[in-house]
Amino acid sequence: MKHYLSINDLDNLQQTVAEALQLKKDPFALEHLGRQKTICLLFFNNSLRTRLSTQKAARQLGMDVMVMNFGQEGWQLEYGDGSVMDKGKSEHVREAAQVVSQYADIVAIRAFAQLLHRERDEAEEVLRGFSSFASVPIVNLESSVAHPLQALADAITLAENNTKARPKVVLSWAPHPKALPHAVANSFVRMMHLQDADFVITHPEGYALDPKITKNVPLVHDQEEALKGADFVYVKNWSSYTAYGEVLNQDPNWRMSLDKLKHAKFMHCLPVRRNMVVEDAVLDSGQSLVIQQAHNRTYAAQVVLKRLLEQM
Ligand code: CP
């Protein structure tokens, strides 16, 4: 694995989950692996879980950690080939990526979708720019279209809670006041393609995800129908993909409740807006796995860093 940009960069999801669960049992077992190695985390956007869990994971492997709020503290970067840099951008990603590679053995980057131009977001100019020009591995801490560390933490959480040979897992859209990116939903779908599960997506009209990612996953527009017999319900808002970045629907009937959830386990990547996306009663119940998911972010990051360090 050269970089970790997508959940599909893992050669074997099930084996990776098993290794992550081993690390969870004994987090400092490989403390020697990252000795005298440094990871640099570059944040172009806000974070709670990703920022703290990735630092914790790196430290448990014995690494030094540098964190930079690049969006606020770094030079404005240019990404275009052959650009005449006569406006606000001070540095090209060609130099920035090579320079950061002089200080760190692994670089991890968070750079969200802007939700203005679909093609531009799908081009992943920040992540692709760094991974093209850096001389060290790049880890995706959530890019325009993918959040593979979240998806790996979700796979770990599913493995810990699943009791069936073939569970039913539902990805259910939820209302939200702001336009949100597709990254979490995209990576969850990609991860579910690698699972032996009965996987269903439910969302209102106008919220179809990228068909290149959803492929043949069954779509049921009737949420109640989709939730029948569910073992796990992953709730997430995303803005429209076709009317790119628009909020077309805020219907509170799509909010998750205990009535709808029945006996299923509830999953969400967090942060979550209480009583907008999901009712208090769900989050405060024993059916909610959200804190366990957040905990597993550490072991998702740790197993990915372990893989990269083992190759050095
Ligand atoms: N789930 C997640 O990535 O959380 P943060 O945005 O707080 O890092």
Which band of pLDDT confidence, cut at 50, 70 and 90, is reported for residue 276? very high
Q: Which stretch of DSSP H or E encloses residue 183? A: helix 183-192
Which band of pLDDT confidence, cut at 50, 70 and 90, is reported for residue 283? very high
Q: What average pLDDT does the segment 299-306 reach?
A: 98
Angstrom distance (rounded) from CA 162 to CA 99: 44
Say how many Å lie between the CA of residue 63 and the centre of ligand 1: 22
Q: Pocket of ligand 1, candidates 269, 272, 295, 298: which has the most ligand atoms within 8 Å of its Cβ, to mutate?
A: 269
Report which ligand 1 atom has the smallest distance to the Cα of 149. Answer: 3
Q: Pocket of ligand 1, candidates 48, 67, 109, 290: which has the most ligand atoms within 8 Å of its Cβ, to mutate?
A: 48
Say how many Å lie between the CA of residue 53 and the centre of ligand 1: 10
pLDDT at 243: 98
The residue extents of the domains of the chain are: 7-147+296-310, 150-293
pLDDT at 121: 98
- Residue among 231, 180, 222, 182 nearest 201 (CA): 222
CA atoms within 13 A on the CB side of 139: 29
One-letter identity of residue 230: A
Cβ atoms of 180 and 246 closer than 8 Å:
no
Domains 7-147+296-310 and 150-293 share a fold: yes
Q: What average pLDDT does the segment 264-292 reach?
A: 98
Angstrom distance (rounded) from CA 312 to CA 310: 6
pLDDT at 312: 97
Say how many Å lie between the CA of residue 49 and the centre of ligand 1: 5
Which band of pLDDT confidence, cut at 50, 70 and 90, is reported for residue 238? very high
Helix axis angle, 148-161 to 13-25, nearest 10°: 80
- Calculate what percentage of the chain has a pLDDT beyond 90: 100
Q: Pocket of ligand 1, candidates 52, 277, 297: which has the most ligand atoms within 8 Å of its Cβ, to mutate?
A: 297
Which pLDDT tens digit goes with each residue over 119-152? 999 999 999 999 999 999 999 999 999 999 999 9
* N-to-C CA span, the chain: 11
Angstrom distance (rounded) from CA 112 to CA 143: 5
Class of the 150-293 domain?
alpha beta
Q: Pocket of ligand 1, candidates 69, 139, 178, 270: which has the most ligand atoms within 8 Å of its Cβ, to mutate?
A: 270
Q: Which residues line ligand 1 (CB under 6 A)?
A: 47-50, 142, 150, 269-271
pLDDT at 179: 98
- Residue among 87, 156, 100 nearest 130 (CA): 100
Task: Name, in order, each residue with C-beta under 8 angstroms of 51's C-beta and a sequence gap of 6 or more.
Answer: 41, 43, 67
Say how many Å lie between the CA of residue 208 and the centre of ligand 1: 23
Say how many Å lie between the CA of residue 312 and the centre of ligand 1: 28
pLDDT at 206: 97
- Calculate what percentage of the chain has a pLDDT beyond 70: 100
Report which ligand 1 atom has the smallest distance to the Cα of 46. Answer: 6
pLDDT at 282: 98
Cβ atoms of 251 and 204 closer than 8 Å:
yes
Cβ atoms of 182 and 240 closer than 8 Å:
no
Which pLDDT tens digit goes with each residue over 34-69? 999 999 999 999 999 999 999 999 999 999 999 999
Which pLDDT tens digit goes with each residue over 162-214? 999 999 999 999 999 999 999 999 999 999 999 999 999 999 999 999 999 99
In this structure, which CATH number among 3.40.50.300, 3.40.50.1370, 3.40.50.1980, 1.20.120.790 belongs to the domain 7-147+296-310?
A: 3.40.50.1370
pLDDT at 147: 98
pLDDT at 131: 98
Which band of pLDDT confidence, cut at 50, 70 and 90, is reported for residue 75? very high
Q: What are the φ/ψ torsions at residue 224 (nearest 5 degrees)?
A: -60, -40
Q: What average pLDDT does the segment 13-24 reach?
A: 98
Say how many Å lie between the CA of residue 295 and the centre of ligand 1: 12
Calculate the average pLDDT of the chain.
Answer: 98
Angstrom distance (rounded) from CA 145 to CA 159: 24
Strand partners, 140: 109
Say how many Å lie between the CA of residue 110 and the centre of ligand 1: 10
pLDDT at 232: 99
The 3-state DSSP class for residue 122 equals: helix
Say how many Å lie between the CA of residue 31 and the centre of ligand 1: 25
pLDDT at 31: 98
Strands 232-236 and 198-202: unpaired
